[in-house]
A and B are shown apart, each in its own frame.
Chain A
Amino acid sequence: MMDDIRELYQDVILDHGRRPRNLRHPEDATCEARGYNPVCGDKLTVYLKVDDDGIVQDAAFEGNGCAISMASASMMTELIRGRTEAEVSKLFAQFHHMCTIDDASEQQDPDAANALEKLQVLSGVREYPMRVKCATLAWHAVTAALQGEREASTE
């Protein structure tokens, strides 16, 4: 197997892609949004349960797409639980940066640093510009859901 391919498809990604976590439609979701990437046809819906304090209590998704988009959605549902909208938004900004620009930025907050470290396995998409949207689709959908929109734009 080619090394650069293994760099993109690390075991963690293959595992999440094969057995996505939180692949379900929770009955008690308070908001949801669809994400669609017209370039490749990746399609998913993110469901969130946000409490009165604005904290994400539950995150799940349904959909289908490539291994990168499924793994990213799966990992995201695990990482955003317990975070506020502002924290999710900041984490996405940092993750997006990691997926597009090759400069490891110093992370002060140890919890966020831990989350970003987990997301690091997806940063291989940097070398594949057409695949960046696969990695960020679920995050765009979560952003839309938290803003009360039904449809995410990946533009």
Chain B
Amino acid sequence: MNMEPRSMINPTRADDAYDVERIRQDFPILSCKIHGKPLVYLDNAASAQKPRVVIDRVSRVYEQEYANVHRGVHFLSERATTLYEEAREKVRVFLNAASHKEIVFTRNATEAINLVAASYGSNVLQPGDEIIISELEHHANIVPWQMLRDQKGLKLRIAPISDDGEFLMGEFTKLVGPKTKLVAIAQMSNVLGTVLPVRQIIDIAHQAGAKVLLDACQAVTHLPVDVQALGCDFLVFSGHKLYGPSGIGILYGREQLLAEMPPYMTGGEMINRVTFETTTFAGLPGKFEAGTPAIAQAIGLGAAIDYVTGIGLDAIADHERDVLNYANQRLAAIPGLRLIGTAPGKASVVSFTLDCAHPHDIATIVDRAGVAVRAGHHCAQPLMDRYGIPAATRASIGMYNTRADIDALAHGLEQVRELFA
């Protein structure tokens, strides 16, 4: 059987100067028309589009390499297992984890957080213990801890932010005490774009003996994330925001912590030996991967990591910063527009309100001009409450966005004003 890859368009590599037009050509969907207009995709914080190399990689799995993993001795099963484990290795290198045992494949970041809450949380935390989250968290990093709080009699404390959206380190430090057992915090806000000083947060938490979980969903697409340099205990992200397939997420956990944690879900794949009387569990990371995993999606995520690191996260971040700065200038000039989140050093997300129109009307109108933005609470209702707004419109920038995309958005917003102002 022929296992060679089909001929593919060569994806963009790092040795080229950042050529956004070439990068755009790697993403087939960007040549689609929406309502007869060229697609301007500015909803990357919700989910990013996929480059051809990822789409082809997933297709190739199904066309030539697919079987269940970790089971069969037949050729395809061994092949799929090798590819699946190679994808895990790519994730390990991407995060600079010490061991492949520290990389658990999940469905998404939400499942990864739930895994930690259910397994680590209910096993280790005791009544009266405290968990600290921040005011800017996504619901995925709020609700699992609320559930755990109610089950275990814990206390959930909220680290505040400033009006600009800056994490208030002094206030956080005051919340940390001997009862603090876990700090679960976003590395970057999905609404405000704030990049949190996580290194410092981790140091303060560790000094108090607390563990730290980082929600890196937004961060991994914009800045290099090194779990050993950061010193975090857990870190989660979703593949689909990193230009990979949906249905695959990552939990990084320190080996020692994962080894002490009980399984989250049980069933096939995660066992060593099962009798009707008792079961012994597989070692790491299999212990946390019950059932047939998302095989093609994991391999597709590996391809996405190759693609992103091939271009270079630093180069991507530089490009996105240019587009972000342009967006800030361009949008701030629109009368009645209020930017939500203006922390220094923020990345790639522009949330705003317009005094004359509701975010949903804005999103509908700019959509007709081919511009995809998000309107609503962005799964961060407590943050919306913090700013006293029911909803906001969000344009989030990815590696393929350009200043022209921002112009298209600004033009759409002018039409909104024409209609409503």
Give 8 A-B pairs besides A5-B368, A9-B419, A65-B390 with Cβ atoms closer than 8 angstroms.
A5-B364, A14-B420, A40-B359, A40-B391, A66-B359, A67-B358, A67-B420, A68-B360
Number of B residues near A (Cβ < 8 Å) is 21
A8 to B360 Cα, complex, angstroms: 13
Q: Which residue of B lies closest to A63 (CB)?
A: B390
Q: From A6, A40, A131, give the contact of B376 (CB < 8 A).
A: A40
A101 at the B interface (CB under 8 A): no
For A8, list chain B residues within 8 Å (CB). 364
B304 at the A interface (CB under 8 A): no
Within 8 A of B (CB), among A1-34: 1-2, 4-6, 8-9, 14, 18
Highest count of chain B CB atoms <10 Å: which of A5, A6, A18, A68: A5
Do A9 and B369 contact each other (CB < 8 Å), given the known contacts A2-B415, A41-B376? no
A2 to B375 Cα, complex, angstroms: 20
B355 at the A interface (CB under 8 A): no
Q: From B35, B364, B420, give the contact of A131 (CB < 8 A).
A: B364
A42: min CB distance to chain B, Å: 8
For A128, list chain B residues within 8 Å (CB). 364
Q: How many A-B residue pairs have CB under 8 A?
A: 55
Within 8 A of B (CB), among A40-98: 40-43, 64-68
Q: Which residue of B lies closest to A39 (CB)?
A: B376
B40: min CB distance to chain A, Å: 15
Do A40 and B364 contact each other (CB < 8 Å), given the known contacts A14-B420, A65-B390, A67-B420? no
For B369, list chain A residues within 8 Å (CB). 2
A14 to B391 Cα, complex, angstroms: 20
**Can you name 29 A-B residue pairings with CB atoms under 8 Å?**
A1-B415, A2-B369, A4-B368, A5-B364, A5-B415, A5-B419, A8-B364, A9-B361, A9-B419, A14-B419, A14-B420, A18-B420, A40-B360, A40-B376, A40-B391, A41-B376, A41-B384, A41-B390, A41-B391, A64-B358, A65-B358, A65-B360, A65-B390, A66-B360, A67-B420, A68-B360, A131-B360, A131-B364, A134-B360
For B201, list chain A residues within 8 Å (CB). none
For B360, list chain A residues within 8 Å (CB). 40, 42, 65-66, 68, 131, 134
The list of the 7 closest CB pairs from A to B, nearest first, reads A66-B358, A66-B360, A41-B391, A41-B390, A40-B360, A67-B361, A66-B361
Highest count of chain A CB atoms <10 Å: which of B358, B415, B418: B358
A15: min CB distance to chain B, Å: 12
Interface of A is mostly: mixed
Do A5 and B365 contact each other (CB < 8 Å), given the known contacts A14-B420, A41-B391, A67-B358? yes
A4 to B36 Cα, complex, angstroms: 12
A1 to B368 Cα, complex, angstroms: 10
Question: Chain B 7-35, CB within 8 Å of chain A: the 1/0 string?
Answer: 00000000000000000000000000001
A39 to B377 Cα, complex, angstroms: 8
B223 at the A interface (CB under 8 A): no
A151 to B91 Cα, complex, angstroms: 46
B352: min CB distance to chain A, Å: 15
B357 at the A interface (CB under 8 A): yes
For B418, list chain A residues within 8 Å (CB). 1
A96: min CB distance to chain B, Å: 19
B153: min CB distance to chain A, Å: 29
For A2, list chain B residues within 8 Å (CB). 368-369, 415
Question: Chain B 354-374, CB within 8 Å of chain A: the 1/0 string?
Answer: 000111110011001100000
Q: From B364, B368, B377, B420, give the contact of A41 (CB < 8 A).
A: B377
For A68, list chain B residues within 8 Å (CB). 360-361
For A14, list chain B residues within 8 Å (CB). 419-420
B91: min CB distance to chain A, Å: 33
Highest count of chain B CB atoms <10 Å: which of A1, A41, A64: A41
For B364, list chain A residues within 8 Å (CB). 5, 8, 128, 131
